[in-house]
A and B are shown apart, each in its own frame.
Chain A
Amino acid sequence: MPFIMIIYYLISAYLLALLIWNFIREEKSVDQMLQYILIMIPLILRLFRAK
């Protein structure tokens, strides 16, 4: 895999980690939790190289 593509997987992983962290810390809004988890969908599947 080219170097720059690896960077993009790292950027995606970093964003995913931040979203998971925010998701875990969220204490009130179910709406907000669902938003975090929706954004995770494409990130997770990109990291698993499904799409």
Chain B
Amino acid sequence: MSRIIAYKILLVLFIGTITLIGGLQLYHHRHFQTPIVAGPGVTEVKKLSDYGPGLDGTITDTNVFFLKAEQEGGKMLIIANTHSNEPAALLSSLIFLENAVVEKGTLIIIPQFNNSGGRNTRSGDGYPLYFEIKTHWGKKRFRMGNRVASPLDQWPDPDVYVHYPDRQLLSYLDIRNTNRTWPGRPDGALMEKLTYAAMELIRKENVDLVIDIHGAETMFPVTNCIVAPEKSMRIATMTSLTLKAMEGFDNHVEPSPSGFRGLSHREIGDFSDALPFLLEAPLPFLDQPTGPKTEDLLLNGKDPFLLKLSKKGKLFVPYDENGWPMSKRVGQHCSAVLEIAKQFTRKNPEKALLISNTPRYKQVVKNGIGSYFKDPSKAKKENIFHN
């Protein structure tokens, strides 16, 4: 009898310790803050809950940064961290947020769109909890998030997710995926409220261009590309051709399928006057046949298995010993965003959008991402923002 009790105590101590250590690390991850330093262009910071109901006071509510020029012009919205396990998006948006100066028009940035997903981890997939970017003042630490929102904020999932308003049936998991819940509804699930508020922002602020930034597997055909619906196709094509000719990197155009609902590049175009674009850069970290899921793989994209598969022609992007460093991916996004603004301005001079003090592909690759992040310990307090 006493032996059984001894076993019980041992097991409770053993598993209890694992649970406590692991649980605390996960708890800290959820509550970890990365300070964002508003740059010289930021004129106003709002909350997404200012635009739609049901977000106020929840962890899902997120900052909306406005960079407004004195001169009126076109309006562009950049959305990052729709999928928080595709971090090139967040890093690119922060380069704009901390540096850009808008000379004409308005730039609106939501750097942590699915904030709940950014505070979630992906069970079963063995990600690191954080990743760090080197800067001249030290390392800037970011949370590695998940593709879907945390069940701590939206629980339970349905047995099948019925998309609003098309009634298309989607996987139960996708009701927490903010690239499946567009255009959303004010009285739906929390993530539907989130995308609804973003739709309201787009409609109320008369946004002209919306860019949703992502990353995708190298073994997935829709990668290294700009996804655009019919109405955005001209600008997307011009952007792709110009980037190839002027900056020398590939970024082909993929048409947004009209039969697959809930995606930003489909619904934003259909439910507002804005032109949506979705940027994909290769993200070897997400591929299945890779070595350990380390921070190094996330940042540098070097993997022996992918290299072998690339030689057999199984990847959809060029791949060599150098992998796919984060700076290349972020640089591509920066150039693509700037080029879309430029092409839009050429077609619509009365709605010009002029952005300066933001690096393009070659500069990001040369100087590193970290050189564009400001030291929060030296910044003015009123310029530091947490979500």
Contact = CB atoms under 8 A, between A and B. Distances in A.
Interface of A: 4-5, 8, 23-24, 26-28, 30, 33-34, 37-38, 40-41, 44-46, 48-51
A4 B11 contact: no
A48 B23 contact: yes
A30 B18 CA distance: 18
B155 A37 contact: no
A29 B162 CA distance: 45
A41 to B, nearest CB: 5
B156 A37 contact: no
Nearest to A28: B4
B31 to A, nearest CB: 10
5 contacts: A28-B4, A37-B12, A37-B15, A41-B18, A44-B23
Contacts of A27: 1, 4
Contacts of A48: 23, 27
A30 B7 contact: yes
Contacts of B150: 51
Chain B contact surface mostly: helix
B265 interface: no
Contact of A8 (B8, B12, B27, B155): B155
B7 A50 contact: no
B156 A50 contact: no
Interface string B118-162: 000100000000000000000000000000001110011000000
B24 interface: yes
Contacts of B8: 23-24, 33
Contact of B15 (A4, A41, A51): A41
A4 to B, nearest CB: 7
A5 B26 contact: no
Interface string B328-362: 00000000000000000000000000000000000
B156 A51 contact: no
Contacts of A41: 15, 18-19
Nearest to A27: B4
A8 B156 contact: yes
Contact of A33 (B11, B152, B156): B11
B68 interface: no
A24 to B, nearest CB: 8
A33 B8 CA distance: 7
Nearest to B154: A5
B35 to A, nearest CB: 23
A34 B8 CA distance: 9
A37 B4 contact: no
A51 B23 contact: yes
Contacts of A40: 15
B194 to A, nearest CB: 15
Given A8-B156, A34-B11, A37-B11, A45 B4 contact: no
Contacts of A45: 19, 22-23, 26
